[in-house]
């Protein structure tokens, strides 16, 4: 996410409660009394995605009269968004960008904004407030301090070590949740429901496991309490939401007539499938378009693999081939053909039957979403945190295919593409940054390989947070990766894709 532009020099007034009534159709705005809304949700990770998704479903329910579900937003990493929102009474503009036109909506469901570490004590007070019944999360895969290959708590993570040493002033997400749950328990309050809205497979189950483990390291009784008495429903969340750019702010100011320091730009499509397990209640999100189900897993696997898997594919193929956005990458005939083959040969066969959805129709719709020309979704943004994204998006489906003696050829090529991406420059020689929690280790391996495919691949296979022994046991899969990597190094990404498509 880019940082907010200074609005101080502008003569245009700032978005604010006092002038909300001046916002006229077609722009939508809250027409309910925001001062009568009380907080029911603390949301950790108030970035663009949650403001395009959970906050909008919730806005619809507040507007329909469910006034006890206002959101207290928390940025776990930086004060920038908090400061931007506090300067405009936590109002913000959602720009829904369809190919033909933009639709604007000012959203009022966020009532307060805080940032860690400045406000940790106040955040814990909010989480311990009896009115808080849900703590929801969009902190990205790495926000949980997990070992991505196993989906368990990384107990050697510096933030976990720090929080175990100083558990009442936590800096990690497992530490924060545990401390808040402990405080509620000692105050005789029931635990809030923990709603993970991140792209992890079986996200509720994994987050329960990690938080319970952290709690058990603090105190075994607390660990049992978290494992047995706290609800962690699973969810599948979906809405493509690129980082906000300076030109988006300028466009909003022009259309809205007010400045907004941090609007959110998103696509028209949205989907939310939620496991209905909320002991303390929830907004009637189903009346805002969410699907409440008993078992989210098939929906999660479909989305995580077909959408996010294809996104990561486009990121590594596209950045190396010299494309900037998902839309631009899809204009490359090799990339588009590759994605089709990836869906049909390697990913769709691993998706279990999904109630009410045909996976082929789903991937056709994905193609329409990926080729929306007005969404500037940068491939470098998606390429970040590959060490956390590769396991659930590509390596878990690869293992499932290998176990039934199928050859996930496209996934092998993509693992090779990611390895090539780690060299940090495109085929045309343009340098880019590798953003990853273990970037230093990954790029050191890449730089030491001297351009040799076997050395690069074997160095990276040793990164156990990504490659499990189960996957590495398949020698043919490993060999395919090395062969594809050699081809990418020799022919360039587009040439190697063309050769791959002609051969496979
Ligand atoms: C993307 C996701 O950045 C990424 O890794 O794949 O943010 C994706 O856009 C969302 O999950 C769509 O719902």
pLDDT reported for residue 276 = 98
Residue 311 CB–ligand 1 contact under 6 Å: yes
Residue 240 CB–ligand 1 contact under 6 Å: yes
As a whole-number percent, the residues of the chain with pLDDT over 90 amount to 96
Domains and CATH numbers, the chain: 2-293 (3.40.50.720), 297-502 (1.10.1040.10)
Q: Which of 199, 264, 435 for mutating ligand 1's site (highest number of atoms within 8 Å of CB)? A: 199
Confidence of residue 10 (pLDDT cuts 50, 70, 90): low
Q: What's the 124 CA to ligand 1 centre distance in angstroms? A: 29
pLDDT reported for residue 263 = 98
Confidence of residue 392 (pLDDT cuts 50, 70, 90): very high
Tell me the pLDDT tens digit for each residue of 33-42: 999 999 999 9
Check if the beta carbon of residue 176 is closer than 8 Å to that of residue 120.
yes
Q: Which two tokens stand for residue 428?
A: 């045309």
Kindly give the interhelix angle for 173-186 and 220-229, rounded to the nearest 10 degrees: 90
Tell me the pLDDT tens digit for each residue of 178-208: 999 999 999 999 999 999 999 999 999 999 9
Check if the beta carbon of residue 261 is closer than 8 Å to that of residue 4.
yes
Residue 382 CB–ligand 1 contact under 6 Å: yes
Q: Please state whether the predicted TM-score (pTM) of the whole model is above 0.75.
A: yes
Residue 308 CB–ligand 1 contact under 6 Å: yes
Of all protein residues, the one whose alpha carbon is nearest to atom 3 of ligand 1 is: 382
In whole angstroms, what is the distance from residue 318 CA to residue 281 CA?
44
Tell me the pLDDT tens digit for each residue of 416-435: 999 999 999 999 999 999 99
Tell me the pLDDT tens digit for each residue of 92-104: 999 999 989 999 9
pLDDT reported for residue 463 = 97
Residue 238 CB–ligand 1 contact under 6 Å: yes
Of all protein residues, the one whose alpha carbon is nearest to atom 9 of ligand 1 is: 240
Using CB atoms within 10 A of its CB, is residue 280 exposed (0-12), middle (13-18) or buried (19+)? Answer: middle
Report DSSP letters for 380-431, one per residue: HHHHTTHHHHHIIIIIHHHHHHHHTT---HHHHHHHHHHHHHTTSB-TT--B
Of all protein residues, the one whose alpha carbon is nearest to atom 11 of ligand 1 is: 238
> How many C-beta neighbours within 10 Å does residue 17 have?
14
DSSP 8-state assignment for residue 353 = P
In whole angstroms, what is the distance from residue 400 CA to residue 410 CA?
14
Average pLDDT over residues 301-308: 98
Index of the ligand 1 atom closest to the CA of residue 238: 13
Q: Which of 47, 49, 290 for mutating ligand 1's site (highest number of atoms within 8 Å of CB)? A: 49
Of all protein residues, the one whose alpha carbon is nearest to atom 4 of ligand 1 is: 382
Q: Which of 273, 311, 377 for mutating ligand 1's site (highest number of atoms within 8 Å of CB)? A: 311
Q: Is the pLDDT of residue 3 over 90?
A: no
Average pLDDT over residues 349-378: 97
Closest CA to 133 of 187, 194, 73, 178: 194
* H-helix or E-strand spanning residue 59: helix 54-63
Strand, coil or helix: 236: strand
Of all protein residues, the one whose alpha carbon is nearest to atom 10 of ligand 1 is: 240
Q: What's the 48 CA to ligand 1 centre distance in angstroms? A: 11
Tell me the pLDDT tens digit for each residue of 262-300: 999 999 999 999 999 999 999 999 999 999 999 999 999
Index of the ligand 1 atom closest to the CA of residue 377: 9
Closest CA to 454 of 478, 422, 427, 429: 478
Tell me the pLDDT tens digit for each residue of 35-67: 999 999 999 999 999 999 999 999 999 999 999
Q: What's the 320 CA to ligand 1 centre distance in angstroms? A: 19
Q: Is the pLDDT of residue 387 over 80?
A: yes
Q: Which two tokens stand for residue 267?
A: 């696509």
pLDDT reported for residue 99 = 87
Check if the beta carbon of residue 121 is closer than 8 Å to that of residue 179.
no
Q: What's the 382 CA to ligand 1 centre distance in angstroms? A: 7
């Amino acid at each position: 996410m880019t940082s907010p532009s200074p609005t101080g020099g502008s003569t245009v007034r700032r978005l604010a409660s006092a002038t909300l009534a001046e916002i006229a159709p077609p722009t939508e705005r809250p027409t309910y009394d925001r001062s009568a809304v009380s907080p029911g949700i603390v949301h950790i990770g108030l970035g663009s995605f949650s403001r395009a998704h959970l906050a909008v479903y919730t806005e619809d329910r507040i507007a329909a009269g469910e006034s006890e579900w206002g959101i207290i937003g928390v940025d776990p990493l930086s004060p920038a968004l908090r400061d931007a929102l506090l300067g405009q009474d936590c109002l913000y503009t959602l720009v829904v960008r369809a190919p033909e036109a933009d639709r604007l909506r000012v959203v009022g469901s966020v009532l307060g904004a805080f940032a860690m570490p400045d406000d940790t004590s106040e955040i814990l007070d909010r989480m311990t407030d009896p009115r808080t019944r849900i703590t929801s999360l969009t902190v990205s895969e790495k926000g949980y301090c997990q070992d991505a290959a196993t989906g368990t708590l990384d107990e050697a993570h510096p933030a976990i070590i720090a929080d175990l040493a100083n558990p009442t002033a936590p800096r990690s997400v497992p530490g924060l949740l545990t401390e808040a749950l402990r405080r509620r328990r000692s105050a005789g309050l029931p635990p809030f429901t923990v709603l993970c809205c991140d792209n992890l497979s079986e996200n509720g189950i994994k987050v329960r496991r990690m938080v319970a483990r952290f709690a058990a390291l603090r105190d075994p009784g607390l660990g049992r309490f978290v494992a047995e008495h706290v609800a962690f429903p699973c969810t599948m969340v979906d809405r493509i939401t690129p980082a906000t750019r300076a030109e988006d702010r300028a466009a909003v100011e022009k259309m809205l007539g007010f400045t907004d320091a941090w609007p959110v730009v998103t696509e028209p499509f949205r989907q939310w499938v939620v496991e209905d397990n909320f002991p303390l209640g929830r907004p009637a999100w189903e009346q805002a378009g969410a699907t409440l189900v008993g078992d989210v897993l098939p929906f999660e696997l479909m989305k995580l693999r077909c959408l996010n898997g294809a996104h990561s594919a486009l990121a590594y193929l596209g950045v190396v081939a010299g494309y900037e956005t998902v839309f631009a990458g899809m204009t490359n005939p090799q990339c588009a053909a590759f994605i089709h083959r990836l869906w049909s040969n390697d990913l769709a066969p691993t998706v279990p039957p999904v109630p009410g959805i045909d996976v082929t129709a789903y991937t056709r719709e994905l193609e329409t979403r990926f080729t929306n020309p007005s969404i500037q979704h940068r491939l470098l943004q998606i390429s970040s945190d590959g060490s956390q994204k590769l396991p659930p998006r590509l390596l878990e489906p690869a293992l499932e295919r290998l176990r039934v003696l199928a050859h996930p050829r496209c996934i092998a090529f993509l693992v090779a593409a990611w390895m090539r991406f780690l060299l940090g420059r495109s085929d045309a020689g343009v340098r880019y940054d590798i953003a990853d929690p273990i970037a230093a280790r990954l790029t050191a391996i890449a730089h030491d390989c001297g351009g040799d495919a076997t050395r690069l691949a074997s160095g990276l296979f040793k990164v156990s947070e990504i490659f499990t022994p189960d996957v590495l046991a398949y020698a043919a899969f490993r060999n395919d990766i090395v062969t594809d990597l050699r081809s990418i190094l020799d022919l360039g990404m587009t040439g190697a894709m063309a050769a791959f498509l002609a051969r496979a």
